Amino acid sequence: MKNRLRVFRAENAWSQADLAARLKVSRQTVNAVETGKYDPSLPLAFRIAKLFSQPIEAIFQPDLEESDEKLLRDRMAAR
């Protein structure tokens, strides 16, 4: 899953430790989410979205396979 967590964190001038404290998780968890090594649980994703006053989709986007992306583009073009 791709995410913009680092961007939102930087816009608030928060360190990973600052964000971790606000989310009540470890700094290592924040780092793992930011680097794409860990996909957050749904409750954590909701807490992140609420903290930044954003919909989840503004922060997290699924990694689509190339064939999935083509299918999505074809469906959008058909509308």
Q: Is a pLDDT exceeding 70 seen at residue 69?
A: no
User: 47 with 23: CB under 8 angstroms?
Assistant: yes
Q: Residue 36 and residue 59: Cα distance in Å, rounded?
A: 12
At 59, is the secondary structure helix, strand, or coil?
helix
Structural domain containing residue 37: 2-78
More confident residue, 65 or 19: 19
Q: What is the pLDDT of residues 5-50, one digit of tens each?
A: 999 999 999 999 999 999 999 999 999 999 999 999 999 999 999 9
Rounded to whole angstroms, the maximal C-alpha distance in the chain is: 46
In the chain, the number of structural domains is 1
User: 64 with 72: CB under 8 angstroms?
Assistant: yes
What is the average pLDDT across 52-71? 82
Q: Residue 5 and residue 60: Cα distance in Å, rounded?
A: 8
For residue 45, give the CATH number of its domain. 1.10.260.40
Confidence band, pLDDT 50/70/90 cuts, at residue 52? very high
Q: Is a pLDDT exceeding 90 seen at residue 79?
A: no
Computed over its alpha carbons, how large is the radius of gyration of the chain? 15
